[in-house]
Amino acid sequence: MTDAGHRSHSRRSRLNPTALIGLALVVLTGAALLLVSPAEPSDRTQRPEERPLTSATVGCPEALDDAAAYVASGIPSVSGEVGVASGASSRSVQVNGDEVTAVNDVPGALVLSASGEQAPGLLASRFATDELAALDCPVPLPEQWFTAAGGGADHNSVVELVNPDEGPAIADITVLSRNGTLDAPQLRGVSVPGNDSVQLDLGQVLPRRGELALHVVVSRGRLATSVLDVIPEIGRRPATSDWLPPSGEPTERSVLLGVPRGRGDRVLAVANPGADEARVSLEVLTADSAFAPEGVEELRVPPGGVRTVTLSSVLQDAAQDGAIGVAVSGTVPVTATLRSVVDGDLSHAVAVTSSAEPMTALVPSGAGSVVLADADRVGTVTVTSFAGNGRRLGEETVEVRPGTGGSVDLPRDAALVRVAPARTAVHAAALVTDQRAGAAVVPFRELVTSALVPDVRPGLP
Spatial separation of the C-alpha atoms in residues 148 and 346, rounded to whole Å = 12
14 in a structural domain: no
- The pLDDT value recorded for residue 378 is 97
Distances in Å between the alpha carbon of 229 and those of 19, 40, 81, 211, 433? 84, 58, 32, 12, 18
292 in a structural domain: yes
Q: Is there a single domain that holds both residue 291 and residue 341?
A: yes
- The pLDDT value recorded for residue 332 is 98
157 in a structural domain: no
435 in a structural domain: yes
1 in a structural domain: no
- 302-345 pLDDT per residue, tens: 999 999 999 999 999 999 999 999 999 999 999 999 999 999 99
Q: Is there a single domain that holds both residue 344 and residue 383?
A: no
Q: Is 455 a residue whose pLDDT tops 70? A: no
Domain boundary among 77, 98, 131: 131
Under 8 Å CB-to-CB from 143, ≥6 apart: which residues?
215, 216, 217, 218, 249
Domain boundary among 131, 158, 181: 131
- The pLDDT value recorded for residue 451 is 60
User: What mean pLDDT do residues 203-232 have?
Assistant: 96
Spatial separation of the C-alpha atoms in residues 259 and 373, rounded to whole Å = 13
> Domain containing 440 — which CATH number?
2.60.290.11
Q: What is the pTM of this model?
A: 0.86
- The pLDDT value recorded for residue 45 is 61
- The pLDDT value recorded for residue 97 is 87
311 in a structural domain: yes
Q: Is there a single domain that holds both residue 323 and residue 280?
A: yes
Distances in Å between the alpha carbon of 332 and those of 101, 144, 271, 335, 376? 43, 19, 11, 10, 22
Q: Is there a single domain that holds both residue 331 and residue 318?
A: yes
Give the 3-state secondary structure percentages of the chain, helix then strand then coil, rounded to 5: 10, 50, 40
Residues 284-318 as b or e (16 or more Cβ within 10 Å = b): bbbbeebeebeebeebebeebbbbbbebeebbbeb
> pLDDT-derived band of residue 105, with 50, 70 and 90 as boundaries?
confident
Q: Is there a single domain that holds both residue 360 and residue 344?
A: no
Q: Is there a single domain that holds both residue 267 and residue 334?
A: yes
End-to-end CA distance of the chain: 82
- 112-139 pLDDT per residue, tens: 999 998 898 899 999 988 889 999 999 9
Q: Is there a single domain that holds both residue 381 and residue 395?
A: yes
The rounded mean pLDDT for the chain is: 88
24 in a structural domain: no
As for how many domains the chain has, the answer is 3
Q: Is there a single domain that holds both residue 288 and residue 341?
A: yes
Q: Is there a single domain that holds both residue 294 and residue 310?
A: yes
Boundaries of domain holding 88: 49-131
- The pLDDT value recorded for residue 135 is 95
Higher pLDDT, 173 or 97: 173
276 in a structural domain: yes
Q: Is there a single domain that holds both residue 254 and residue 346?
A: yes
Spatial separation of the C-alpha atoms in residues 146 and 160, rounded to whole Å = 12
Domain boundary among 291, 317, 351: 351
